[in-house]
Amino acid sequence: MPFVFEQTAIHGLILVKPKVFGDQRGFFKELFKASDFEQVGLPARFCQDNLSFSRRGVLRGLHYQLPPHAQGKLVTCLQGEIYDVALDLRRSSPTFGRWLAVHLSGENHQLLYLPPGLAHGFQVLSEEALVFYKCTAEYAPEAEAGVIWNDPELAIPWPLSPPVLSERDQRWPSFREAPLFD
């Protein structure tokens, strides 16, 4: 199997490490293979691919979509480096209210699978970053939700200060005020 799948400290949040074949020409890796993902119980069907380009200090998140449009996401950083954060919003989860951060980069080649019910955000640590992610549900503006990036209850230690934020990301509610998953 060209992937190693590691369960993280957040229930259902999986770190995916692809096998990278490199030589003097560069490298080759598979980012996704339906049969391998299906074999370990992860989604084999994604219906939307997204690509974002951001500069150093940009913080995007913490975003999610509510049912019936909740999204699972498979996230990777193709170029540059990001501090990637997942927050568990599922009341029924043993890790409800906990967050986890990982560094994703073009050099470490890792991917992160977030199941539906987790909020997602990242901050760019390199001069520029290309972030690619696959989604299990299409974007639905009416289902869009978020949690404010600097909620003191969560105390996420974002690496760069001050972050560069969109207007929208400055207005999300706190974790306690945000709509959650049952």
User: How far is CA 22 from its chain centroid?
Assistant: 26
Of the candidates 144, 154, 146, 97, which has an alpha carbon nearest to the alpha carbon of residue 121? 146
Catalytic residue chosen out of the listed positions 64, 83, 113, 133: 133
Catalytic residue chosen out of the listed positions 63, 64, 83, 120: 63
133 is catalytic: yes
* Three-state DSSP state, 141: helix
Give the C-alpha distances (Å, rounded to integers) separating 120 from 22, 28, 89, 142, 145: 30, 27, 10, 18, 11
Query: Which run of H or of E encompasses 37?
Result: helix 34-39
Residues with catalytic function: 63, 133
